[in-house]
């Protein structure tokens, strides 16, 4: 297939492109606006590959998208472009509405116009995979069953509300206009090239620099951690063999609280840099994020049963690999710290709790 991937220079998008180029014969058309979180360096290994074409573009610009569709003639779309950081959505929700809601609408309109112009054989192959989040389902209690295919929507943050709206637009374009859509909802990703504002890279880098490790509330919030390479494998399986009109949930089978994750990072840093141990002394309890969801968990049994996917990484081995990667790529994250993001708290004025 020739895949048009939006947000291909982002954390998950670049992992999908690397995976596809390494493991398949697919051609990739990478459409990216190159916002603050884009990392073109993550695609250096594919830069000279003739199967990878880059198009600088904004998904909110329908005419630009139509030109890209008509020039490259893709067989499928994988929609990953999005604003994703909850704290940033608290500070500035308008950009999340623009990108995640209107941008998805604009992409759907362009895909619909392109699809309607295809011949019968091409239409039978075409599909539109919308990549979403488990956060659209809201928060679970400690004893609640995991999110499943029929879990109702209950978004609690501006970010998750914008993604929920996008999910509904995708479903509507499938139902009303016959666009062959599929939706996936994933749990928290981690791995190489993740922008340092997210929990795991922020804790690794702060620990390396001897800076405070800010943990929201008491660190009891639980996430189902999914290695980004496992997510990439799942997305390729879904777009190749997933059923039109279906939803697939992707999780890492690795529920751990934030404070567990932070303490494991501290233990690894103690082993690597014993002269700075104990790194756990850097942990600071900070005011919780407004509306912070308690727990996310994924039931990925449908994906396993239908497509034979399962996560290849255990969380502890994946975390160790991720820590090693960040320590080996210091020039990259130091450059981000000096130019883009210096680790400051977003979403709420920081006040250390007593």
Q: Provide the annotated active-site residues.
A: 134-135, 159
Q: What gap in Å lies between CA 26 and CA 74, rounded to an integer?
A: 11
User: Measuring CA to CA, how many Å separate 229 from each of 11, 85, 159?
Assistant: 10, 20, 23
Check: CB of residue 116 under 8 Å from CB of residue 68: no
Instruction: Of 107, 126, 19, give the one whose Cα is nearest residue 68.
Output: 107
Q: Which residues, 6 or more positions from 353, have their beta carbon under 8 angstroms from its beta carbon?
A: 285, 286, 287
The pair of structure tokens assigned to 294 is 């308690």
Burial 45-76 (b: 16+ CB within 10 A, else e): ebeeeebbbbbebbbbebebbbebbeebebbb
Residues 167 and 327: their CA atoms lie apart, in Å, by 37
> Strands, DSSP E only, in 278-321?
283-286
Please tell me the distance from the alpha carbon of residue 262 to that of residue 256, in angstroms, as a whole number. Answer: 10
Measured CA to CA, the distance from residue 206 to residue 342 in angstroms comes to 10
Distances (CA, A) of 32 to 175, 313, 341: 28, 28, 20
CA 250 – CA 300 distance, rounded (Å): 5
If you search the block for the tokens 């947000």, which residue do you land on?
7
Residues in the chain: 354
């Amino acid at each position: 297939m020739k895949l048009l991937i939006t947000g291909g220079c982002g954390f998950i998008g670049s992992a999908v492109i690397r995976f596809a180029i390494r493991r398949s014969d697919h051609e990739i058309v990478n459409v990216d606006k190159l916002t603050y979180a884009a990392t073109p360096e993550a695609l250096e290994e594919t830069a000279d590959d003739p199967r990878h074409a880059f198009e600088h573009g904004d998904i909110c610009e329908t005419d630009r998208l139509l030109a890209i569709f008509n020039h490259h003639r893709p067989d499928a779309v994988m929609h990953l472009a999005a604003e994703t950081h909850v704290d940033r959505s608290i500070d500035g929700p308008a950009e999340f509405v623009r990108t995640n809601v209107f941008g998805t609408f604009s992409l759907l309109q362009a895909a619909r116009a392109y699809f309607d112009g295809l011949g019968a054989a091409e239409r039978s192959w075409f599909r539109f995979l919308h990549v979403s989040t488990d956060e659209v389902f809201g928060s679970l209690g400690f004893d609640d069953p995991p999110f499943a295919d029929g879990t109702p929507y209950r978004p609690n943050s501006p970010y998750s509300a914008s993604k929920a709206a996008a999910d509904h637009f995708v479903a509507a374009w499938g139902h009303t206009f016959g666009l062959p859509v599929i939706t996936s909802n994933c749990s928290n990703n981690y791995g190489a090239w993740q922008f340092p504002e997210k929990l795991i890279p922020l804790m690794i880098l702060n620990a390396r620099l001897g800076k405070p490790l800010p943990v929201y509330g008491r660190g009891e919030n639980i996430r189902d951690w999914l290695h980004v390479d496992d997510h990439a494998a799942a997305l390729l399986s879904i777009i190749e063999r997933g059923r039109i009109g279906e939803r697939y949930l992707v999780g890492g089978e690795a529920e751990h609280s934030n404070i567990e994750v932070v303490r494991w990072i501290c233990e690894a840093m103690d082993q690597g840099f014993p002269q700075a141990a104990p790194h756990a002394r850097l942990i600071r309890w900070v005011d919780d994020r407004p509306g912070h969801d308690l727990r996310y968990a994924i039931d990925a049994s449908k994906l396993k049963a239908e497509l034979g996917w399962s996560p290849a990484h255990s969380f502890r081995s994946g975390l160790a690999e991720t820590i090693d990667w960040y320590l080996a790529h210091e020039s990259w994250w130091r450059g981000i710290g000096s130019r883009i993001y210096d680790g400051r708290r977003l979403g709420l004025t920081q006040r250390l709790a007593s």
